[in-house]
Amino acid sequence: MSIGAAPGDLRHLSLRAARAGADAIRQARHRGFQTVHKGGAAQDPVTTADHASERAILDLLARDRPQDAVLAEESGLSAGCSGLRWIVDPLDGTLNFSHGASRYAVSIAVAAGCDVGDGEGRVVAATILQPASGACLVLDADGAHDGDATVAVNRDAVPEHALVAFAVPNAPGPRRRAYQALVGLAPRVADLRNSGSTVCDLAAVACGELDAFVSFDPAAWDVAAGTALVEAGGGVSRRWRRDGQTVFATGAPAVVAALADWLGTDHVDDEEGNDDEQR
């Protein structure tokens, strides 16, 4: 797989990294934090808690896996030589966090086969940890786990009874186009949901609490870990182009197929299993 990397070791380190980030977030919550807005966009804040979490995670990875590449939301891509890439969202749901809401999470994924250029690779380890509740999903050799319990997608879900989570871009133009697409989708499913955290929504799909998730122009750090967990629990993933945007969907097979049909079928990639969903 790579230099000195056993799958079990990577899974354990992904959990340790998520816990380090969660601890930093809790400390920032206790001590107080500051918020700024990226590019002045109110929908896209970043806090000192985001930076503290990312710093704790990257420090741990630098000590334990210095040869690996890292793609992190706040600091971007750092090169490696092992063929492994860590994909880090240190605090997804920052707007929720900054308003005192509980739906936010740390997301850690490890992709193998990233030796050439910006190759996407395949996720071999992943952890999602929600600091407020302590809920934690881990990708293991035999599926997705919440502690000792195996979790699974609601594979039998049908579109007309489906609960579908969604996420839209922050930029005004793409955001408007995404909402226009969702207006047509809403009458065809049981309901649309948006928790304010893509990572939390993906965790809910992996556990069968939601039936599918659809996003417009998602970043790799938003979806890498969650997609792997959904697919490990029996879900499928697709992405395609619509109105100049990449649309990504994952979840129950019939629901994802319907989303692809309703929201456009010009597919650029169809995926099943544990393939990484980076862009």
Range of the domain at 234: 159-263
Look up the pTM and report it: 0.90
Is residue 274 domain-resident? Answer: no
222 assigned ligand-binding residue: yes
Is residue 17 domain-resident? Answer: yes
Where residue 227 sits, what CATH number does that domain have?
A: 3.40.190.80
For residues 44 and 131, membership in a common domain is answered with yes
Query: Among residues 102, 122, 150, which one ends one of the domains?
Result: 150
Helix/strand/coil (H, E, C) string of the chain?
CCCCCCHHHHHHHHHHHHHHHHHHHHHHHHHCCCEEEHHHCCCCEEEHHHHHHHHHHHHHHHHHCCCCEEEECCCEEECCCCCEEEEEEEEECHHHHHCCCCCCEEEEEEEECCCCCCCCCEEEEEEEECCCCCCEEEEECCEEEECCEEECCCCCCCHHHCEEEEECCCCHHHHHHHHHHHHHHHHHCCEEECCCCHHHHHHHHHCCCCCEEEEECCCHHHHHHHHHHHHHCCCEEEEEEECCEEEEEEECHHHHHHHHHHCCCEEEEEEECCECCCC
For residues 174 and 120, membership in a common domain is answered with no
For residues 256 and 143, membership in a common domain is answered with no
73 assigned ligand-binding residue: yes
142 assigned ligand-binding residue: no
For residues 25 and 99, membership in a common domain is answered with yes
Tens digit of pLDDT for each residue in 42-91?
A: 667 899 999 999 999 999 999 999 999 999 999 999 999 999 999 999 99
How many domains is the chain partitioned into structurally?
Answer: 2
For residues 109 and 227, membership in a common domain is answered with no
For residues 181 and 111, membership in a common domain is answered with no
For residues 14 and 141, membership in a common domain is answered with yes
89 assigned ligand-binding residue: yes
For residues 124 and 167, membership in a common domain is answered with no
Is residue 279 domain-resident? Answer: no
Where residue 126 sits, what CATH number does that domain have?
A: 3.30.540.10
Tens digit of pLDDT for each residue in 198-210?
A: 999 999 999 999 9
* Choice between 49 and 243, residue whose per-residue pLDDT is larger: 49
The pLDDT of residue 7 is 78
71 assigned ligand-binding residue: no
